[in-house]
């Protein structure tokens, strides 16, 4: 009996059956990459983090745990709910997370407090390093990593190029290893490219969002050659409907709030805690990006512990990009393609590759020439008009968890359709 016949003959029951079939297929698709016995954190909402299964976190944590506090990820964003200070609060599920509080920075006013005024930066930080296996909320990718909170967004909702550049310079001065930029703008401009080049020369991997315009080109700064650009997948290993895409990027889970393809009763967003203490499902290349920053942090931790990490400088950035882009799950047409780029990042493959390296392989590693070469293109001067260049966060929607369940599901009923 075809699905069409089922639909006609069974009416409402057909719909139920179709949904069941859809869920069964997706559950299998989500589970197959997980090896038996992989670490499962006790965080109660971890079961809603389909995104972590998709990038192979269970087995990755078996390799390296939550990484190392010696690895520092700078999150340049709306701030982070990392401290109790003047009306701002440390949220409960970041309480065991390591923060570089001494170097926290508000690049918009020069203060040493990077408290979150919107929630975006707190959510992004959670994906990198939410307190994990603490019986609270959700998990994070590299939960032992140290987070450096740097605020670059102003109260008008924009991040200006001068503030972002100042934030990058702060991250360099503070010895960051990775910079997460879950933000973008459609055109290049301003002071960011030169700052990104300084980060590259200092050995810092900059990871940035591809953008949410469904375009076949990248937002800036993701499009700069030193940056690792990140597009978004949905829960069924497809490109998210909003994600920009080119061949020169990786993809990671960004979610699709329109559907519950995972069948867990909630919208398929990326779940993390917000500044209000509640858990929110967000979608966007903003959400995909911190998966890659977290995986980079794990790779750095493992590389250091195995003695295969190149000295801190451009070679380390090239090495890191090479490990991540060469260990992806190939999606779409075989090899690198213009929809999924290098493919879906896979933490456990990346760590297995690090484990396969010996110290002597450092010299032998064949880095792609375009990655080792001088970055292409001339430096961009501030826009001719002298106007500042504005960047937006790369989030495309959000639903608080208490509204992303049964009620949302009833409203979205007609948007659910079979997956072929």
> At its nearest, how many Å lie between Ca ion and the CB of residue 131?
5
> At its nearest, how many Å lie between Ca ion and the CB of residue 380?
41
> At its nearest, how many Å lie between Ca ion and the CB of residue 357?
32
- Give the whole-angstrom CA distance, residue 72 versus residue 68: 9
Q: Are 306 and 231 in contact (CB under 8 A)?
A: no
- Give the whole-angstrom CA distance, residue 187 versus residue 196: 16
- Give the whole-angstrom CA distance, residue 113 versus residue 341: 37
- Choose one: 10-18, 263-271, 288-296, 321-329; the region binding Ca ion (CB under 5 A): 263-271
With binding defined as CB under 5 A, does residue 54 bind Ca ion?
no
If the CB atoms of residues 137 and 184 are measured against Ca ion, the closer one turns out to be 137
With binding defined as CB under 5 A, does residue 177 bind Ca ion?
no
- Give the whole-angstrom CA distance, residue 369 versus residue 376: 12
If the CB atoms of residues 158 and 241 are measured against Ca ion, the closer one turns out to be 241
Owner of token pair 């310079």: 169
With binding defined as CB under 5 A, does residue 137 bind Ca ion?
yes
> At its nearest, how many Å lie between Ca ion and the CB of residue 283?
11
- State the distance between the two ends of the chain, measured CA to CA, in whole angstroms: 16
> At its nearest, how many Å lie between Ca ion and the CB of residue 256?
9
> At its nearest, how many Å lie between Ca ion and the CB of residue 148?
20
> At its nearest, how many Å lie between Ca ion and the CB of residue 378?
46
**Total of chain residues touching Ca ion, rule CB under 5 A:** 11
SS3 278: coil
With binding defined as CB under 5 A, does residue 93 bind Ca ion?
yes
SS3 7: helix
Which of 131, 286, 293, 393 is the catalytic position? 286
- Give the whole-angstrom CA distance, residue 185 versus residue 178: 21
If the CB atoms of residues 75 and 107 are measured against Ca ion, the closer one turns out to be 75
- Choose one: 38-46, 293-301, 345-353, 385-393; the region binding Ca ion (CB under 5 A): 38-46
> At its nearest, how many Å lie between Ca ion and the CB of residue 35?
22
Q: Using CB under 5 A, pick the residue from 197, 268, 318, 348 that binds Ca ion.
A: 268
With binding defined as CB under 5 A, does residue 161 bind Ca ion?
no
Q: Which residues of 261-357 form beta strands (DSSP E)?
A: 270-273, 279-283
If the CB atoms of residues 115 and 264 are measured against Ca ion, the closer one turns out to be 264
Q: Using CB under 5 A, pick the residue from 77, 100, 219, 264 that binds Ca ion.
A: 264
- Choose one: 217-225, 246-254, 256-264, 325-333; the region binding Ca ion (CB under 5 A): 256-264
Rounded to a whole number of angstroms, the CA Rg of the chain reads: 21
> Is 120 a residue of the active site?
yes
The bridge status of strand 270-273 relative to strand 279-283 is: antiparallel
Q: Are 63 and 355 in contact (CB under 8 A)?
A: yes
With binding defined as CB under 5 A, does residue 43 bind Ca ion?
yes
If the CB atoms of residues 23 and 113 are measured against Ca ion, the closer one turns out to be 23
- Choose one: 21-29, 130-138, 370-378, 411-419; the region binding Ca ion (CB under 5 A): 130-138
Which of 100, 120, 318, 393 is the catalytic position? 120
- Give the whole-angstrom CA distance, residue 250 versus residue 241: 16
- Give the whole-angstrom CA distance, residue 375 versus residue 371: 8
- Choose one: 186-194, 252-260, 313-321, 384-392; the region binding Ca ion (CB under 5 A): 252-260
Rounded to 5°, the CA angle 59-61-89 comes to 140
- Residue positions counted in the chain: 420
DSSP category for residue 361:
H
String of DSSP letters for 367-417: --HHHHSPPPSPPPPSPTT-PPPEEEE---EEEEGGGSSHHHHHHHGGG--
DSSP category for residue 47:
G
Which of 77, 161, 177, 219 is the catalytic position? 77
With binding defined as CB under 5 A, does residue 260 bind Ca ion?
yes
- Choose one: 43-51, 96-104, 167-175, 407-415; the region binding Ca ion (CB under 5 A): 43-51
Phi-psi region of 218 (alpha: psi -120 to 50; beta: other; left: phi over 0): beta
If the CB atoms of residues 234 and 349 are measured against Ca ion, the closer one turns out to be 234
- DSSP H or E run through 77: strand 72-77
With binding defined as CB under 5 A, does residue 136 bind Ca ion?
yes
Q: Are 297 and 147 in contact (CB under 8 A)?
A: no
Binding site for Ca ion (CB under 5 A): 43, 93, 131, 134, 136-137, 260, 262, 264, 266, 268
Annotated catalytic sites, by residue? Answer: 77, 120, 286
């Amino acid at each position: 009996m075809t699905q069409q016949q089922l639909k006609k003959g069974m009416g409402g029951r057909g719909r139920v059956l179709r949904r069941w079939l859809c869920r069964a297929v997706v559950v299998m698709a989500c589970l197959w990459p997980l090896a038996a016995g992989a670490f499962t954190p006790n965080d109660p909402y971890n079961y809603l983090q389909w995104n972590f299964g998709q990038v192979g976190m269970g087995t990755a944590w078996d390799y390296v745990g939550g990484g190392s506090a010696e690895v520092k990820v700078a999150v340049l964003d709306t701030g982070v709910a990392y401290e109790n200070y003047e009306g701002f609060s440390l949220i409960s599920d970041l309480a065991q997370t390591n923060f570089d509080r001494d170097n926290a920075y508000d690049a918009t006013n020069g203060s040493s407090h990077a408290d979150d005024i919107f929630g975006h930066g707190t959510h992004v930080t959670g994906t990198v390093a939410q307190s994990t296996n603490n019986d609270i909320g959700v998990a994070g990718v590299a939960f032992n990593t140290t987070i450096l909170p740097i605020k670059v967004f102003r109260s008008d909702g924009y991040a200006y190029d001068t503030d972002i550049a100042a934030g990058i310079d702060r991250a360099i001065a503070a010895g960051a290893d990775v910079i997460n930029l879950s933000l973008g703008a459609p055109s290049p401009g301003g002071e960011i490219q030169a700052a990104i080049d300084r980060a590259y020369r200092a050995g810092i991997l900059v990871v940035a969002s591809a953008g949410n315009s469904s375009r076949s080109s990248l937002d800036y700064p993701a499009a700069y050659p030193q940056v690792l650009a990140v597009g978004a997948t949905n829960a069924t290993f497809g490109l998210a409907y909003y994600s920009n895409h080119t061949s020169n990027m990786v993809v990671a889970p960004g979610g699709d709030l329109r559907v519950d393809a995972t069948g867990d009763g909630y919208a398929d967003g990326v779940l993390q805690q917000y500044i209000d203490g509640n858990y929110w499902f967000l979608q966007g290349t903003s959400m995909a990006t911190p998966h890659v920053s977290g995986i980079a942090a794990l790779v750095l931790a493992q590389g250091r512990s195995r003695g295969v990490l190149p000295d801190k400088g451009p070679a380390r950035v090239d090495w890191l990009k090479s490990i991540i882009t060469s260990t992806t799950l190939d999606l779409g047409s075989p090899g690198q393609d213009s929809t999924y780029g290098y493919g879906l990042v896979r933490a456990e493959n990346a760590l297995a590759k690090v484990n396969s390296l010996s110290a002597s392989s450092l010299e032998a590693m064949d880095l792609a020439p375009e990655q080792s070469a001088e970055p292409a293109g001339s430096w961009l001067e501030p826009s001719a008009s002298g106007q500042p260049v504005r960047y937006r966060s790369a989030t495309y929607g959000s639903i608080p968890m208490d509204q992303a369940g049964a009620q949302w599901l009833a409203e979205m009923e007609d948007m659910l359709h079979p997956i072929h």
